């Protein structure tokens, strides 16, 4: 009887430990950012980053479904629910494994939701509205009470209604020239019906038509001869040096040196040197040197630098660099040196370096860095945190031992190559090269293809000097086009094999025999030597490449 008690206690102990391990694993805090990537790629990233083991049947679970998730410092269980929300997959935690399985009810709900999205309701037709009918009336009234904005408000008859064209015609009221000038000046610099000034002129500071009310007055037309400080603009503002606005600008703002706005800009802002906007810019912000804005929903163009502190949803173009914050939700960046985007962008183009968090489209530059990318990073060095990052060991017919590092996205990745072929104890050939390739999926989840182009310079070590050839100083380039078939045997491990189409271009030609000086080619399909002062050797053949990829 006691033995049964011990067995029961032991089973209870192991069950408690297992349950505790499951709870601890699902409560692990994680941060993941994926945008429109395949589920397989997301699972690989989470597994590598947080040491989580996923188990599923590749025959039943479709890991090529597109998923997105952007969460920070939350439990693993909550993060997985966010990641799998738009799929027909659910999960269960057993021991130290996360089991993925198909949820038929969830699949049915997703199908119904997608079917509903395809139904577009017909727009409701609005009733036609008749345009207002204006009737011009001849009204006799004293000049001193004439107000062309609302001439009818002085009529004493309570039931009298009339319309009038909103146009000032001095001859309509039969006034004198002196009275006409007085009325015109009062009307231009006076307030409109909505409390705004029609126009203002400022020499500098408060020396202008608005005097001490500058910072609290909104103007339809604002002219600042040197420097002006106004409450707002609802029209046009022009400044010889600097325009400064406390609140918003709606319309056009142009200055010889710069513009400073404390609120939003809805329109166009142009400064000879700088523009600074503390609110949201909807429209165009253009400067000769630098633009600084809080949130850009339009275009930033500068000779040197654009900064969108919170983010940019439009276009940034600068001679040196563009910087956009974490709230960016699209748009593009183009510059002469660098682009930095802390949020989401569609395209980054710069000769030197692009740095992005989420890139929906492409990055084009010498160096490209991103967390995730929907298209391709095209450059000499491409680093994508959740991209196609592989290391491989292989053998081939020219260089027997090869290692390669592949970095980038599945659409476009870079290849950094090193190879070696021993001749004897002291002599051999080294090869160092660079290339690029693309990853192609197939219907079979274990099989894929890689198409690659590589160029490698072959260098001798300890070559006898009596041959009179210094191979390290002359062109000896092995060019390859490779097609490999990749068979996955583990989560990140695969075997590959495929043909290689080779073209050797070399200046290592024996001057006495006009033949290639190195004996490293397995055979040739064609070969040719150009006979001149500095002969060139060309040869082509088909080889093979095979190895293991991690």
CA gap 107, 331 in Å, rounded: 34
Q: What is the mean pLDDT of residues 354-370?
A: 95
Mean pLDDT to the nearest integer, 54-60: 79
Rounded distance between C-alpha atoms, residue 348 and residue 315, angstroms? 10
CATH fold, domain 390-549, is Porin (2.40.160)
**Taking the domains of the chain in order of start, what are their residue ranges?**
2-116, 183-380, 390-549
* Chain-centroid distance, C-alpha 509: 49
- Could you write out the DSSP letters of every residue in 223-262? EEEEEEEESEEEEEEEESSEEEESS-EEEEEEESSEEEES
Residues 181-195, mean pLDDT to the nearest whole number: 51
Question: Is pLDDT above 80 for 176?
Answer: no
How far is the C-alpha of 284 from the C-alpha of 317, rounded, in Å? Answer: 11
Residue 140 burial (CB count, 10 A): 6
pLDDT greater than 50 at residue 161: no
Beta partners for 133?
Answer: none
* 228 torsion bin: left (phi>0), alpha (psi -120 to 50), beta (else): beta
DSSP-derived secondary structure for 427-439: -EEEEEEEEEEEE
More confident residue, 289 or 77: 289
d(CA 56, CA 170): 86
Q: How many CA atoms lie within 13 A of 500 on its CB side?
A: 22
Q: Tell me how far the alpha carbon of residue 271 is from its chain's centroid.
A: 27
Of 53-57, 199-203, 349-353, the range with the highest mean pLDDT is 349-353
Give the class (CATH, top level) of 2-116.
alpha beta
**The predicted structure's pLDDT at residue 263:** 93
**Residue 184 to residue 188: CA distance in whole angstroms:** 6
Q: Which candidate, 320, 259, 311, places its Cα nearest to that of 280?
A: 311
Average pLDDT value for residue range 259-288: 95
C-alpha closest to that of 140 among 169, 174, 165: 174
| Mean pLDDT of all residues in 264-293 | 95
pLDDT class of 184 with cuts at 50, 70, 90: very low
pTM (global) more than 0.95? no
Average pLDDT over residues 318-343: 95
C-alpha dihedral over 295, 301, 302, 307, to 10 degrees? Answer: 20
pLDDT of 349 strictly over 80? yes
| Confidence class for position 122, pLDDT limits 50, 70, 90 | low
How many degrees, rounded to 5, is the angle at CA 92 between CA 87 and CA 95? 145
């Amino acid at each position: 009887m006691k033995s049964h008690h011990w067995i029961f206690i032991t089973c209870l102990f192991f069950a408690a430990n297992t349950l505790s391990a499951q709870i601890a694993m699902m409560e692990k805090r994680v941060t993941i950012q994926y945008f429109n990537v395949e589920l397989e790629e997301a699972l690989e990233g989470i597994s590598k980053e947080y040491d989580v083991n996923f188990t599923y049947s590749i025959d039943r679970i479709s890991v090529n479904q597109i998923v997105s998730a952007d969460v920070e410092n939350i439990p693993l269980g909550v993060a997985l629910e966010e990641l799998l929300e738009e799929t027909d997959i659910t999960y269960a935690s057993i021991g130290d494994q996360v089991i993925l399985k198909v949820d038929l009810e969830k699949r049915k709900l997703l199908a119904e939701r997608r079917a509903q999205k395809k139904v577009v309701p017909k727009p409701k037709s609005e009733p036609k509205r008749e345009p207002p009918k204006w009737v011009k009336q001849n009204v006799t009234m004293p000049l001193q009470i004439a107000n062309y904005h609302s001439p009818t408000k002085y009529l004493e008859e309570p039931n009298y209604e009339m319309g009038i064209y909103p146009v000032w015609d001095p001859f309509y009221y039969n006034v004198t020239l002196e009275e006409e000038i007085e009325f015109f000046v009062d009307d231009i610099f006076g307030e409109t019906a909505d409390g705004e000034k029609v126009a203002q002129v400022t020499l500098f500071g408060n020396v202008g038509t608005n005097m001490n009310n500058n910072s609290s007055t909104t103007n339809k037309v604002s002219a600042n001869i040197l420097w002006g400080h106004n409450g707002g603009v609802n029209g046009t503002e022009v400044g010889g040096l600097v325009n400064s606005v406390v609140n918003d600008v709606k319309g056009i703002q142009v200055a010889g040196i710069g513009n400073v706005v404390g609120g939003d800009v809805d329109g166009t802002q142009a400064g000879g040197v700088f523009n600074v906007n503390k609110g949201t810019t909807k429209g165009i912000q253009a400067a000769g040197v630098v633009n600084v804005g809080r949130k850009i929903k339009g275009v930033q163009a500068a000779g040197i630098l654009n900064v969108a502190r919170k983010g940019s949803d439009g276009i940034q173009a600068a001679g040196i660099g563009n910087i956009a914050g974490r709230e960016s939700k699209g748009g593009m960046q183009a510059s002469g040196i660098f682009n930095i985007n802390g949020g989401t962008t569609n395209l980054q183009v710069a000769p030197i370096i692009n740095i992005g968090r989420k890139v929906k489209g492409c990055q084009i530059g010498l160096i490209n860095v991103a967390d995730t990318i929907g298209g391709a990073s095209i450059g000499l060095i491409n680093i994508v945190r959740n991209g196609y990052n592989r290391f491989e060991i292989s053998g081939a017919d020219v260089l027997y031992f090869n290692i390669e590092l592949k970095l980038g996205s599945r659409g476009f990745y870079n290849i950094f190559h090193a190879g070696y072929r021993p001749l004897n104890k002291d002599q051999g050939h080294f090869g160092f090269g660079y290339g690029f390739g693309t990853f192609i999926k197939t219907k079979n989840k274990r099989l894929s293809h890689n198409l690659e182009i590589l160029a490698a310079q072959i260098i001798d070590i300890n070559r006898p000097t009596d041959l009179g050839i210094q191979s390290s100083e002359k062109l000896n380039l092995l060019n390859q086009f490779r097609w490999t078939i990749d068979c996955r045997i583990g989560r990140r491990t695969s075997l590959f094999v495929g043909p290689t189409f080779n073209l050797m271009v070399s200046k290592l030609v024996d001057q006495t025999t006009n033949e290639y000086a190195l004996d490293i080619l397995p055979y040739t399909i064609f070969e040719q030597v150009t006979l001149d002062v500095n002969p060139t050797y060309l040869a082509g053949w088909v080889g093979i490449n095979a190895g293991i990829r991690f």
